[in-house]
Structure 1
Amino acid sequence: MKVALGADHGGYELKEEIKSVLDEAGVEYEDLGCDCSDSVDYPDYAVPVAEKVTAGEADRGILVCGTGIGMSIAANKVNGIRCALVHDVFSAKMTRAHNDSNVLAMGARVIGSGLAGEIVKAWLSTEHEGGRHADRIQKVAAIEQ
């Protein structure tokens, strides 16, 4: 599995900590920035991560900003992206199992690094259940068309 990572200034430090979680799990990743805590615009990082996922250059994406809200809004503007804003482990599992989310957004000012690491591990290890959930995802995809 390959993951595309992106963060704005508010999520930069947490993104760096998430890289350690991915390293420990043996997950390949591409860091698309940002690379500092200077003020930047979240769409400049959310969209490239989302486009890597839709192009098949990454299997999934992880985005971090101050609240996760801006990143999730921007990523969900890209057709084919199902970005979920998650701040707890249960939601991380459910968004994969039921919604087949392909991008995870988190807020660095909302959760700490320990919880973020647990969320990432749960999200990466949970598979989509398919079945009735797949039908619902198809209905959402039809809206994009």
Structure 2
Amino acid sequence: MSKKVAIGGDHAGFEYKAKLVEKLTSLGFEVKDFGPFSDASVDYPDYVHPLCSSIENGEVEFGVVICGSGNGVAITANKHQGIRAALCWNEDLAALARQHNNANVIALPARFITYEHAEKLTEIFLSTPFEGGRHQNRVNKIACS
């Protein structure tokens, strides 16, 4: 399990993000928090783009992004060639995103899942290995570059 994780999102995800930072730190993760640092209205791309750059440059291995629907942060993250962000709302999706897609960012919909569920999905995502094999060829075809 990677020990370096980036986290960020928007005002709708702020409460979950703050709790996840504490939880992940207690589990021994080194967490880089990109913000926001309050529940005041913000533009999620201002936080998601730097978070994704930190993954692409090898500063951290995985990212957790959180907004109301999870869609905005996932769409933004996936603009980066080195990012494979997966919007997850159930345990199977969190596991399959890692196993089959080698996703490196989990996007969580704070307005549609409980905090406890967000925590469980994050733990599954961060602890599930990529299966490689037949899936590697598909993952190799994802980027446009």
TM-score in terms of structure 1 length:
0.96
Tell me, yes or no, if structure 1 residue 105 matches structure 2 residue 101: no
Count of matched residue positions in the alignment of Structure 1 and Structure 2: 143
What is aligned with 2:58?
56
Distance in 2 (alpha carbons) for counterparts of 1:20 and 1:4: 13
What is aligned with 1:8?
10
What is aligned with 1:68?
70
Identity across aligned pairs (percent)? 42
| Uncovered stretches (5+) of structure 2, i.e. residues with no partner | none
Match of 1:26, SS state, is coil
Distance in 1 (alpha carbons) for counterparts of 2:119 and 2:79: 26
More moved, 116-125 vs 12-21: 12-21
| Uncovered stretches (5+) of structure 1, i.e. residues with no partner | none
1:130 alignment partner, one of 110, 129, 132: 132
**CA RMSD of the aligned region, Å?**
0.8
What is aligned with 2:22?
20
Q: Where has structure 1 moved over 4 Å in runs of 4 or more? A: none
TM-score in terms of structure 2 length:
0.96
Deviation at 1:25, TM superposition (A): 1.6
Match of 1:61, SS state, is strand
Deviation at 1:38, TM superposition (A): 0.6
What is aligned with 1:91?
93
Distance in 2 (alpha carbons) for counterparts of 1:68 and 1:17: 17
2:46 alignment partner, one of 44, 53, 65: 44
Deviation at 1:27, TM superposition (A): 1.0
Match of 1:10, SS state, is helix
Distance in 1 (alpha carbons) for counterparts of 2:95 and 2:26: 20
Which amino acid in structure 2 is aligned with residue 91 of structure 1?
Answer: L
More moved, 68-77 vs 15-24: 15-24
What is aligned with 1:30?
32
Deviation per residue, 1:33-56 (Å, 9 max, x gap): 000111100111111111100010
Distance in 1 (alpha carbons) for counterparts of 2:109 and 2:26: 22
